[in-house]
Amino acid sequence: MNASWLDEIRWNDDGLVPVIAQSAKTGRVVMFAWMNREALELTAQHGYAVYWSRSRQRLWRKGEESGHRQKVLDIRIDCDKDVILLEIEQEGGIACHTGRESCFYHRLKQNRWEAVDPVLKDPGVIYQK
């Protein structure tokens, strides 16, 4: 695959680019993560989201433990070419490790963060090891 398109991305000093995953079905932002060059190339090649885990310092195939993979329908970049937007189909309807549809489930209400989305599946059941 000719990867010259990857050279157009404005990678940060760590060789990463921020990525927003948005549900194609609802338009809701379900996740924010990071990708390095290899993760983005693998995502484009295989059609499933691969991210860079900063905490584990390795590639992270979304759903590798939970089974909640993200099928990528479209890859876009912003005008500054420093943020990626993935339009995805979230397998199982759960993007967050807490068992929720979206990682953005807290809302600021009267100067306090309040969880407003339900847990769809117990994380203890999702991540049995």
DSSP string, 29-59: EEEEEEEEHHHHHHHHHHSB-EEEETTTTEE
The total number of structural domains that make up the chain: 1
pLDDT tens readout for residues 28-73: 999 999 999 999 999 999 999 999 999 999 999 999 889 999 999 9
Residues 83-120 have pLDDT tens digits of 999 999 999 999 999 999 999 999 999 999 999 999 99
Q: Does 15 reside within a domain?
A: yes
Q: Which domain holds residue 53?
A: 4-97
Q: Domain for residue 68, yes or no?
A: yes
116 domain-assigned: no
Q: Which two tokens stand for residue 101?
A: 């549809």
Pairing type for strands 106-109 and 112-115 reads: antiparallel
Q: What pTM value is reported for the model?
A: 0.90
CATH of residue 73: 3.10.20.810
Query: How far is Cα 56 from Cα 7, in angstroms, rounded to an integer?
Result: 25
Q: Which residues pair with 107 in a beta bridge?
A: 114
